[in-house]
Amino acid sequence: MNFLRLFSVLLTLTALLPATEPVGRRDLRIHDPSTIVQADGTWWIFGTGRLLNAARSTDLQHWKKLPSPLSAPPAWAGDAAPDNKSNYYWAPDIIHRGNLYYLYYSVSEFGKNNSAIGLATSPTLNPQTSGYAWTDRGIVIRSVKGDHFNAIDPSILADTDGHLWMAFGSFWNGLFIVELNPATGLRIAPESPMHQVARDTEIEAATLYKKDGYYYLFFDRGLCCRGVKSTYRIVVGRSRAVTGPYLDDQGRDLNDGGGRAFLGATGDFIGPGHAGLLRDAAGVEWVSVHFYDGSNHGAPTLALRRVGWTEDGWPRVID
C-alpha cells in the first residue's frame, strides 16, 4: 500500500471513531459556576443567567435545572447598572453561615465598571422546602466609572478564625480582597481596606481556598465569552496571610505578573474558568469550572477535574 493510500485509509478510520468527550465534562450547561455546596444529600450550584441560574445533583454527574433563585431584580440593581436591561446577573458564589445560605452575585454592564456585588440569603436551597425564600440584603460593594476596580466575580472564604473574606475584581487594577462582617455577610465597614492581591491586563474570576496554613488564590487570565476562541486559563498563587502578598512557586508576586499554571485548554476542553474547590464524601478534592465545549460548538459546560497536591503544597489537576 503506497503512502497516499495509507494516509487516506487512516483519515477514513479516524472519521469513523467516536468523538472524544472533553475530560471531566458534566451534563450541565452553565457559565461562571459558583462553588458547589452540599446540603441534605444533594449538591447545589449557581451560575450566570437571567436573575441567575441554579441546578442540583445527587451524584455530581447528572444535574437538574431549578427556577432562578431571585424572583425579581433587587431594588438597587437599576441604579447600580442602568444599562443592564436584561437582568442577567453574573458569577455568583454561595456559602453556608449559621442557619442561612449566603448567595453573592454581580450586577454589571458588560465592559464597564458600573457594577455591584449583591447579597441574598435563604434558610434553605431547596425550592420545595417550607421556608424557601431569598431575601435581598443589599449591596456588598459597588464600583462606578472612574474607580480603579470593578465590583464583580465574588469569591467568599470563611476563615478558621471566624473572619469572613471576599475576593473580587475584573480587569481595571485587578483583584482585591475585603473583609466582610461575619454576622451580616456585608462589608465590615463602608471604607474598610481593599487589599490588592493580583494584577494583569486580562484578569478576573478570583477564587479563595485555604489548606494547610496557606491561602490559595486561583484566577483566570485571558478572555472569556468567545466560545471556542476563548483564551481563559487558570493560574494560582498562595500566601500565609489572606490579604497577601500572594506568590507563585518561583516567588513572583501576583501583582507583578506571577502565577503558577493550574488548568488550561486541551483539545475540546477550551477556556476553563471560574474555579471552585470542593471535597466529596470520600474526601477527594475536585475543582469545578466552566469550559467551552469544542465538541458542542463552544457551549459553556460544567466540568469537574480531580485535584492533587505536590509535596511542597501546590495544587495540580490529576485527571
Q: Which residues pair with 177 in a beta bridge?
A: 167, 195
Task: Please check whether residue 267 lies inside any domain of the structure.
Answer: yes
| 19 — pLDDT class (breaks 50, 70, 90) | low
3-state secondary structure of 245: coil
Asked if residue 246 belongs to a domain, the reply is yes
Q: Is residue 109 annotated as part of the catalytic site, yes or no?
A: no
Write the pLDDT tens digit of every residue in 179-213. Answer: 999 999 999 999 999 999 999 999 999 999 999 99
> What digits encode the pLDDT tens for the residues 102-134?
999 999 998 999 999 999 999 999 999 989 999
For residues 4-15, one letter each, b for 16 or more C-beta atoms within 10 angstroms of the residue's C-beta and e for the rest, the string is eeeeeeeeeeee
Whole-number pLDDT of residue 21? 82
204 is catalytic: yes
Residue 1 domain flag: no
Query: Is residue 35 very low, low, confident or very high in pLDDT (cuts 50, 70, 90)?
Result: very high
In a domain, 4, yes or no: no
pLDDT bucket at 247, cuts 50 / 70 / 90: very high
Q: Is residue 264 part of a domain?
A: yes
**Helix (H) or strand (E) segment spanning residue 306:** strand 299-309
**If pLDDT is split at 50, 70 and 90, which confidence band does 15 have?**
very low
Give residue 233's domain range: 22-317
**Using H for helix, E for strand and C for coil, what is the string for 22-68?**
CCCEEEEECCCCCCCEEECCEEEEEECEECCEEEEECCCCCCEEECC
Domain count for the chain, please give it.
Answer: 1
- List, in order, residues 6 or more apart from 56 with CB less than 8 Å away: 42, 43, 44, 45, 63, 64, 66, 125
Say if 232 falls within a structural domain.
yes
Q: What is the pLDDT of residues 157-186, one digit of tens each?
A: 999 999 999 999 999 999 999 999 999 999
pTM, 2 dp: 0.92
Which residue of the set 32, 93, 153, 248 is catalytic?
A: 32
Determine contact, residues 36/285, Cβ cutoff 8 Å: no
pLDDT digits (tens, 9 = 90+) for 39-60: 989 999 999 999 999 999 999 9
Q: Is residue 16 a part of any domain in this protein?
A: no
pLDDT (0 to 100) of residue 54: 98
CATH of the domain at 84: 2.115.10.20
- 93, 153, 204, 248: the active-site residue: 204
13: helix, strand or coil: helix
Q: What is the mean pLDDT of the chain?
A: 93
pLDDT above 70 as % of the chain: 94
Tell me whether residue 304 is in a domain.
yes
